[in-house]
Structure 1
Amino acid sequence: MVLAPEHIHASAYFNKVLCEPGWKWDIRSRPMSDYDLWYVWDGTGDLTLNGTAYQVQRGSCFLFRPGDRIFACHDPERPLTVSYIHFHCEDSLLEQVAPYLLMYEDAWFEGLLERYMSQMLAREEGFREEARLLIVMLLLQYSRHAASIPNRHVQEHAQHTTVTDAIWEIAARIRQHPALQHRIRDLARETHLSPRYFSVKFKEVVGMSCERYMVECRIQRAEYLLRYSGMSVGEVADALEYQNIYYFSRQFKKYRGIAPSRLLKS
């Protein structure tokens, strides 16, 4: 599937949000008027799309289309954290793509989602053009993933090993608590694996080493705080429990290519 960016039009409706305990989504009587890419980072729930029921979990991804009728709810004890991108598309190619996938092992897809959110919030020069390109890239990644499982029912694809599920739960916890100093041997113990095999499986499932993932989550949180919280570089370093501001600055520049103080002025 090849979409031209000029056929995509991003809207003002996008977010990454932790749904409220009493949240539900019911548009059975007034169906979707446009497209929506909907991805679940954490939590569990149920969703019915045009009469077909799905169990929603970490990695569930839906491509909603104009005319779709949807009802969704979640477990208040395990509320959904969802990214959604609403957009208009003038190309009929999207009608050929599966409406649901479980995209457990696609760190690139998650990275593109994060980039889209940050750019739309920052609204830097050229952000609308970049938003179109990012949507095209997300849809291409979605389409490639769908093509990799052509002969299996989508619900069968949702059956993953206990080890994979456990690793994604650990990855979600690292992302939610980026300041904590997680130790590989402690994380491995939770999955009943040796530290060495845990490290191998984590990289296989998530797409990067556990150590790199912990740093990336920490740096992502630091980037957000520097841009939007009004906190100083020192306050961000303290909040994320860095040894000192100098170590934080060196690590941030290594992974982002600029000094953290530059974001305070952007």
Structure 2
Amino acid sequence: MDIQEFNPKIYYAFDVWNPENNANGKHHHDFFEISIILEGEASYFFNQQWQTVRGGDILLFNPGVEHAERQLPKTYSHQLHIGIGSFELEGLSENAFPNQEIILTSQEDQIKVFDKAWQLINEFGHHNINLICKGLIYEMMGLILRCLEQNEQTEPSILSKNERLKQAVQLIITYIENNYAQEITIEQLATTHYVSPTYLSKIFKEVTGVSPINYLILIRLQQARQLLMTEEYPIKEIARAVGYEDAYHFSKSFKKQYGVSPSALRQKNSQEMPR
């Protein structure tokens, strides 16, 4: 691939929440589509059969590949769809990726794809498709190509139950780090990844050393500390920006973590700044 001439067109990029019984009939494209299952599960048709995909799965549809999707009763899904065209990789037909399978085989870089996906969705909230969005999509394409390259170099392996759970933890970490300002509960995280809250807490603590909720608190306070040191927003606004509705509770948690109140940290930081 000549990187100087590589300039794909982004036809669309959007995330959608699909309620139960939602359906999208059989179709195909003349461009490349990435479909990322962010949360929940869905039934997808490809390779002439219906199969279940869940949060953590990345689907790659080359031009001409027939597919469809539907939500079964009592299920939902949150998905990100990206349509890309006007590119050609060496040795492949136009708008095609070198994937043999529709579902991307799990790789370490797959977690990075989800991180970029959440960043992209958060960017939607501020702008339409812009240069930052385009850059994130290009990064996702590069990471997916790296995953496919790694798949070619290694024998496919079946993940053990423990490995799958650890991968779920990494996906939850990515979710928390990109959605810390929203209301997040252990029950929500567990339901999304099809494990019990108790078991999720256990495996999460084994991987990170802390519980999911304590990890969420840590991320919120780290973000708040950064804002306090770099921005002049009122403390109440900073509390809300990182997911705290109650400024008093925020201040109490902040002082417990850092040994100093938010206002004291801000004052100390302003005194130390060069004049």
Name the amino acid aligned to 2:139: L
* Identical-residue share of aligned pairs (%): 11
- 1:54, distance to aligned residue in structure 2 (A): 3.3
1:133 matched to 2:133? The reply is: no
Match of 2:113 among 109, 112, 118: 109
Written as runs of structure 1 = structure 2, the 5 A alignment for 1:205-216 is 210=212, 214-215=216-217
- Superposition pairs for residues 1-80 of structure 1, below 5 Å? 4=3, 6-28=5-27, 31-80=28-77
Q: TM-score, normalised by structure 1?
A: 0.61
Q: Give every structure 1 segment of 4 or more consecutive aligned residues whose post-TM-superposition deviation is greater than 6 Å.
A: 245-248
How many residues were matched structurally?
226
Aligned match of 1:146: 151
Q: Report deviation, 1:232.
A: 4.8
Using the TM superposition, give the Cα deviation of residue 114 of structure 1 relative to its aligned residue in structure 2, in angstroms: 1.8
Q: Which runs of 5+ in 1 are unaligned?
A: 223-230, 252-258, 260-266
| Counterpart for residue 239 of structure 1 | 245
Answer whether contact 2:12 2:83 (CA < 8 A) is retained.
yes
2:161 aligns with 161
Closer, same or farther: CA 241–6 of 1 in aligned 2, 3 Å: farther
Contact 1:61 1:103 in 2 (8 A): no
Larger deviation, residues 233-242 vs 19-28 = 233-242
**Shift of residue 67, structure 1, vs aligned partner:** 0.9
Q: Which amino acid aligns with 2:144?
A: L
Unaligned runs of 5+ residues in structure 2 are: 187-194, 225-235, 259-265, 267-275
C-alpha displacement at 1:56, in angstroms? 1.0
Residue 190 in 1 paired to residue 198 in 2?
yes
Letter of the 2:98 partner, please give it. Answer: Q
State which drifts further: 161-170 or 128-137: 161-170
CA pair 170-61 structure 1, distance change in 2 beyond 3 A: closer
Q: Report the CA distance shift for 1:168/1:96 in structure 2 as closer, same or farther (over 3 A).
A: closer
Query: In 2, Cα distance between the equivalents of 1:4 and 1:136?
Result: 13
Which residue number corresponds to residue 103 of structure 2?
100
Q: In 2, are the aligned partners of 1:179 and 1:239 still within 8 Å (CA)?
A: no
1:14, distance to aligned residue in structure 2 (A): 1.4
Q: Which moves more between the two structures, 69-78 or 56-65? A: 69-78
**2:15 touches 2:80 (CA, 8 Å); kept in 1?**
yes
Instruction: Determine which structure has more spread, i.e. the larger CA radius of gyration.
Output: 2
Task: Pick which of 94-103 and 55-64 moved more.
Answer: 94-103
Question: 1:79 deviation in Å?
Answer: 1.0
1:138 and 1:23 map into 2 onto residues whose CA distance is: 30
Q: Deviations over 1:109-151 (max 9, x none)?
A: 2112122333455449743652453243333344245336544
Q: Label 1:15 to 1:134 Cα distance change in 2 as closer, same or farther (>3 A).
A: same
Q: Is the 8 A contact 1:109 1:141 kept in 2?
A: no
